[in-house]
Chain A
Amino acid sequence: MAQRTRSQQADRIRHLLETEGDAVHAKASSFHAQRGEAYDAADDLEALRTEARAIKEDAIDRLPDLIDTVKDTVEANGGTVYVADDAADANAYVADVVDTQTEEHGIVGDDDTPSVVKSKSMTTEEIDLNDALEAEGIEVTETDLGEWVLQVADDTPSHIVGPAMHLERVEIAELFNERFDPDEPLETAEELTQFARDYLADHIQEADVGITGANFVVADSGTITLVTNEGNARKCAVTPDTHVAIAGIEKLIPTLSDLEPFVDLIAKSATGQSIAQYVTMLSPPTDSPTLDFDDPEEPITAGDEAKTDRDFHLVLLDNGRMDMREDDQLRETLYCIRCGACSNSCVNFQSVGGHGFGGETYSGGIATGWEAGVHGQESAAEFNDLCTGCSRCVDACPVKIDIPWINTVVRDRINRSEDPAATDFLVDGLTPDMEDGGIDLGKRFFGNIGTVAKAASATAPVSNWLADADPVRGLLERTLGIDHRRDLPAFQRESLVDWFEKRGGNATSSRRAARANEADVDREVVLYPDVYTNYVDTDRGKAAVRTLEALGIPVQVPDLPESGRAALSQGMVATADRQASRLYAALAENLDAGRDIVVVEPSDLAAMHREYERLLPERSFERLRDNSYEICEYVYGLLENGADPSALSTGNGAEPVAYHSHCQQRTLDLEAPTVAVLERCGYAPETTSAECCGMAGSFGYKREYYELSVDVGERLAEQVAGAKTVVASGTSCGDQLEGLLERDVPHPIEVLAPGSRL
């Protein structure tokens, strides 16, 4: 499938925002909040996540052995295992099972069409099983209510766990009333559910074969685990005499005891329940008697050979998974337990749902890995840009998958697979990157923002006037995809580094710090001049310098290389890798001298603390991580160690401040120190519940995503609109809020700095 143009993508997103966004947002954000509460309430959550992760790592590592084991155990139990190479292979096998079963036992029910009832399974969606069976003349009925609604509506799942999440109750009622024409029109959720229950009960009773997925498969006992709330999976498995379970090979875990952490985690991460209603652990064929509703007078327990009456098939699907296992970057995807927590935690997903933020089958952040692995990179390319790398899914994932990294890597691969464009010359001069031509021009522009900013700063204010001119905005939109509705950053003629040098550099800073140093603190700081703090929002950099000096800390502001954050967000991994090495080299001597590295922009700190683990040698990564701090975190440390807050701009104890913490800062657990510092300094901070501002670096500038970015931003803006003072720690967050609220939104350090204007 060819990728959409910017304009087509913008239209599609606008349509989803209007038609499905509200329904998805209501449910996904509520699941997300409930997950947070469930995680907080569990006393051993981190240990569980760590254990679950380790089990998956081990299971995928020895997957071929586990496949051999489960073949042996299921066959010893009396069932059959079939390993299917791909979708066609799996579908043909299942169709064959249904045919054989109906030939041998006759067709249940009144007509002569073989019938199958199914419980919810994303894996069968992946292989389009229903279409394949129907093409063979087999009737298929979905029994999960959400899936059944989609089957009636001829629609596709918009969420891994809540497939009909994008539909409102009234839409479902309309659909049912039109399709089934009940005596009394259906209206309430209760009525709709009762109707579905009765309708589906008939189908389950007359089904020849029951098909389920499997959340986990225990290799050494041949146990299929099904996690559901409705009970339909139990009915599909227990009622007909033939049960087919279809599972990706990655669902195998070694032993029963390995199942425990997953049973404990999966409902918490999916919906915030402590445990799902039904955790069905079946080692088929089971002793439960089959139910023959065509023979109503025969006791169900009559056949004492019940066990031998049952037929069980486990279909294990490869469909690209063995290749994913060999791929160092995609392997982690196989640890996914399909709980949907990454979708629920994602602000972009909450606004557009899985029909926008999803590929052929899978949706949400982890879908990039799944789609690239099972359907190919093109399917991932459809939606991969909707992951902004905000990283809020990282805390949500029950098996600690680095979902943003998978998105970055796949973006990089997509970039490299695109043909060089004739207009590459437009950015070639400005972009000293490591990328081959062919990558989207806008991505290359934003990925090299440091170089762009340096050039724009050197020519400010002319560059700012020029950039604001209508013809230039038109050109920027057409070539780089920068939306004309977005205010562009105004570059400062004097950078932070120049300002610092001009006021006397290190010597001046040491003098000022010595004068203020009553607590006798013996630390020195290198303040990292990130691109925005250095060239655009120099005020927050100056505030950081003044604050540190007032607390007795001498500061240096050397001209340092970019962190690689901008390149990472555009999927330019090679460029980021080079920048990480350069920055580390430039900082090494300071680290050796025992200086602390303090960072204002949270996204740059997050690069050092998270992505650098993959870009630098382990010792370098740890050394930089252990000696670098977010500015307010560092101030908090100073105050805790005896520095006097009265040297700063303090409030009266009750001064309200609305504080929005940057998304990546939250993932580093660094929201709390800023809150604590504001409180220590006499303010009454109130934090926002919005996980991300929606701007996310370059994302909100892009023409195709502008409206989505504003949709997300407005939810945040509503939360803080009434506050007298609004502060935000990220450049993007501040820009987004300033645009929407039309007022100044400084960094918290600008409120705290001595002589603050606020």
Chain B
Amino acid sequence: MKTTTTRSVQTIVFVLIAVGLIALALGGYLTPLSRIVLNPILAAQTWISQRYQAVQELVNAPQDTARLQQENSQLRTENSQLQSQIIELRQQLAETSVLSALVDFARANPENRYQAAAVIARDPSPFLNYVIINRGSDDGLRRGMPVVTQQGLIGRVDAVTAGASRVMLITDPASSVNVILEPSRAEAVLSGQITGDLSLEMIPQDANVEPGDLVLTSGLGGGYPQNILIGQITSVRSREQDIFKSASIQTLVDFNQITIVLVITNFRPIDITPLLPGEAGP
């Protein structure tokens, strides 16, 4: 009985001491004491932890490097694949936009039948402005057919093989196109130059021609269909002693960057050479 009472008293005393310590701790009275006790423990923990981590890194590092190198090479491969995909998609996008513009052009001119072709090469001679396209007689192309883009006239087919054709650009020095100027309706001749520029010759002196006028094919001579846009006049040169005016023109077509063209396949050029003076036979 006595023993039981003593144990109860001890328990109560311990509880009271514990409650007292908790109350003191909550009140902040034990902070200096806990600091004194905990600091060495924390320092020891930190030291052991650092050494453990160092040893762990030493053991695991080679494996991690190998894994990281492998991951890195995989990511590099993926990156290069994605980069090439981006380039491919950009090319497809550019091609699609060109094709879309060409389709719009074909829809806007339903009277003509077209054959699309890609420009695959240029004439190796620097004196000639010709391009080679990847469509030929197997695709219905014939010599003399006009070649256009959505931005205007390019030239005409000069030579044809089964699978490819050579196109003389209107910028070639040998090219001459009969044109009509809008709104004046004056007729002139468009000539190519060795520099790839275009010039208008034989504009009548009395024609009211100004910069900004449109240049369209006239169809005269039978070499090209009527009313295909070529460009705009940029400047007019006129001297009183000359019989004709001349002008410079600016095309929308960049002749150095042509990639896809349309060949007008239902146009047959008319050869008027036998009708020209001096060309007819006896």
A, B: real partners = no
Residues of chain A whose beta carbon lies under 8 Å from any beta carbon of chain B:
none
